[in-house]
Amino acid sequence: MIVVGHQPQYLPHIGLFNKIAKGDIFVFVDNVQFLKKSWQNRTLVKGINGQEMLMSIPVQVKGKLNQQIKDVLIAEDFLIKKHLKTIKFNYSKTTGFEEVYPIIAKYYKPNIKYLVDITIPLMREMFSLLNIKRNIFIGSELGIEKAKTELLIDICLKTGADSYLSGQGAKSYFASDLFRENKLSHHCNIFEHPHYSQTGKGFFTGMTTLDLLFNEGIENSRKIFWDNVSQYSYE
């Protein structure tokens, strides 16, 4: 059994879902330190004029230096439906807008308190849209409390997995001897960004996965996504 763990992100790019799809189990690692200016509360959309646009959910960080992701509060003055307006303005003329937008819009409720109250439900919905069916756990509910390699091992032990699949970034801190001691294996995902139809000039990688879903529609997005998953494995 292969497990993948990752911090909840706001409308993440397709590379994260690619990694998740290659595992059997996914863990939302919500009980590690929140990182400012990360994808935990930000995402990228492609504007109708061919420009890259950043959408960010402002959060309360003053005096909360070491707060965990699960405890991060959304700024009280933020009107979250502003993001819906941005999405609608830039994608309303795309092939999949009419079928995808109503599904996503229902999560943009007023008075959302915690960041994870929107990031985790949106990611779960995107699993469904891409037809990713995996056993899903929440890190804080599993009692995972360690860091770096020990965190990955703890995720394996708490979920009953015998292998952990990470991104290429894990190579900077991964300690293979600890995995061997626990009779576990570790792999790094291989990902090449797929090409698909986009509005505006040029093709931008790293956009929110909504960019794929809006431009191609649900059925074709699933085909593009799973063809890409099967084309590249892990090392």
% of the chain exceeding 90 in pLDDT: 71
pLDDT in tens, 154-189: 999 999 999 999 887 766 666 778 888 889 988 889
pLDDT of residue 64: 78
Q: What are phi and psi of 140, to 5 degrees?
A: -65, -25
Q: Is 76 exposed, middle or buried (0-12, 13-18, 19+ CB in 10 A)?
A: exposed
Per-domain boundaries in the chain: 2-231
pLDDT of residue 234 exceeding 90, the answer is no
174-180, Cβ contacts within 8 angstroms, sequence gap of 24 or more: 174/149, 175/148, 175/149, 178/149, 178/150, 178/153, 179/149, 179/152, 179/153
Whether 212 and 195 have beta carbons less than 8 Å apart is answered as: no
pLDDT of residue 203: 94
Q: Which residue has the higher pLDDT, 188 or 222?
A: 222
pLDDT of residue 106: 95
pLDDT in tens, 24-68: 999 999 999 999 889 999 999 999 888 999 999 999 988 777 899
% of the chain exceeding 70 in pLDDT: 97
The count of other CB atoms within 10 Å of the CB of residue 56 is 13
pLDDT of residue 9 exceeding 90, the answer is yes
pLDDT of residue 33: 92
Average of per-residue pLDDT values in the chain = 91
pLDDT of residue 95 exceeding 70, the answer is yes
Q: Is 165 exposed, middle or buried (0-12, 13-18, 19+ CB in 10 A)?
A: buried
Q: Which residue has the higher pLDDT, 14 or 177?
A: 14
pLDDT of residue 104 exceeding 80, the answer is yes
Whether 45 and 210 have beta carbons less than 8 Å apart is answered as: yes
